[in-house]
A and B are shown apart, each in its own frame.
Chain A
């Protein structure tokens, strides 16, 4: 197999149903190494579900996920799909960082403790090394002075930057952002975007779900517009956001937002 042309992440025919509702409807997607992919679309269109199924927080009903050319997450047993044994899943998740809309910092640990936790517990690194990595990551998101405080004392923007540092401490190959600024006050959005920009400049591969079109336009190599579990359109920001956009629904959505 030609490793150069092989994407870091390949989603094939992903389908996820919640009872009667089809959240993701047979979606295919390749994410090459280094790409910044932004998924936009109205609420309930399946963006988050698709993102969460990449690191197996959602169990998909059909389709396959390939990470670095390996099929991951599921095994066939007696003709039915099952999630892979937990060690394999944990190993995959350790390589994929995820940032949540509501941060989900560990409130009982200090900021440094949060960022150290992955290297310390999952990678079983010595405390000193885990600490060094954590300090590096906190410097990267601009919060080295907040090491010893508890998350409860931070602003939303600071919390999200710590969450980014926590994900980065695992040295992931892919970062997933699930509406990272949706829970923030408008004046705090900028600092989180800056942190993500820094990461993008370093060449991190990332998939971002966001409602901030300006941010999407600025950062994205490629934008995917999703609705009702399907990809309605994809292309460069210029193609999706530009005046050449001829899809009525997408134009309507963008007009409502801008």
Chain B
């Protein structure tokens, strides 16, 4: 409607002769008779036949707009071409044709262009996400193992400390922990770069979760295994390292896989502490271009990452339990 309104304004400032005609066509448009308006406007003759050039261009462009509004792109273009035949340099007509051509192109073309535009910065963000994931995947199983061994220790202070660590890091939001480490610790004179803060935050949080998972897996191993290991003269440490812990791998993989999949997505939280990872990159693109393709693309990348890791974990789980397959 706005388009039609603008047309009517433009039509009112041309030569007397055609004023009447433009006004009549506006009335027809207002009544909804677009076909009638088109017929009327097309009666404006070409300037070679002694007509007014300005009125001719206006009328044909008006016809083009009406056709475009009706989604009849071919007729709209034809009307523009009438203008271009006589005035090849007419910018209005040329731009309109270009716009019509763009509309004719399939939607995926634009999407593809957006993807190619966004991919480089999203790829950078993905690398940062992967770095965070891999660092946490290295740190947290070790931390988790220490916490698990501490929890089942007979030394009261050790098991108490590990209980406290789990209680604290499982009981508060990861986002709060990250804020505290990055924004809170400087108050105590400890200022950490974002990546360090992120890895410490994610590492502690995931160590606490993995600690409980590992403890459960260790305690699920038949007690006879520890006795048999001790009976051939193994120390507690040897028995753990050689006999008990290797048997937990298969049982650990499903819950640990779960945790690591969650980790891939939880890394999005570190975007709040000045880290430009995948989520932050997508958010920046979205805010710059107001284009949801950036967010959709980020979602696809997260899915690809989680899918790859899922397959890796399934493979490891199979390999870890190979001794149970007959």
Interface residues of A (CB under 8 A from B): 55, 57, 86-87, 90-91, 93-98, 100, 102, 104-109, 117-118, 121-123, 150-153, 163, 166-167, 170
Contact = CB atoms under 8 A, between A and B. Distances in A.
Contacts of B243: 106, 117
A104 B222 contact: yes
Given A93-B230, A95-B233, 7 more contacts: A55-B231, A93-B231, A96-B231, A98-B228, A106-B225, A163-B228, A166-B232
Contacts of A91: 233
The 6 closest A-B pairs by CB, nearest first: A94-B233, A104-B228, A104-B224, A98-B231, A118-B232, A122-B233
Contacts of B235: 86-87, 90
Contacts of A117: 232, 242-243
A122 B232 contact: yes
Contacts of B222: 104
Main SS of chain B's interface residues? helix
Nearest to B236: A86
Contacts of A152: 323-326
Interface string B313-326: 00000000001111
Contacts of B230: 57, 90, 93
B225 A104 contact: yes
Interface in B214-260: 222, 224-225, 227-236, 238, 242-243, 246-247
Interface residues on B, range: 20 to 34
Contacts of B227: 57, 100, 104
A87 B234 CA distance: 9
Contacts of A102: 224
16 contacts: A55-B231, A57-B227, A86-B235, A86-B236, A97-B231, A97-B232, A104-B224, A106-B225, A106-B229, A106-B243, A117-B232, A121-B242, A122-B232, A122-B233, A122-B234, A170-B233
Contacts of B231: 55, 57, 93, 96-98, 100, 167
Contacts of B236: 86
Nearest to B242: A121
Nearest to B249: A108
A153 B324 CA distance: 9
Given A87-B235, A121-B242, A107 B247 contact: yes
Interface of B: 222, 224-225, 227-236, 238, 242-243, 246-247, 323-326
A189 B246 CA distance: 31
B225 A121 contact: no
A93 B232 CA distance: 6
Given A104-B227, A152-B323, A170 B232 contact: yes
B323 A107 contact: yes
Contact of A122 (B225, B238, B324, B326): B238
A94 B233 CA distance: 4
Q: Which of B225, B232, B243 counts the most chain A CB atoms within 10 A? A: B232
B229 to A, nearest CB: 8
Nearest to B322: A150
A121 B234 CA distance: 8
Contacts of A100: 224, 227-228, 231
Nearest to B324: A152
Nearest to B232: A118
Contact of B233 (A104, A118, A150, A151): A118
Nearest to A102: B224
Contacts of A86: 235-236
A150 B238 contact: no
A94 B232 contact: yes
Given A102-B224, A117-B242, A121-B242, A107 B324 contact: yes
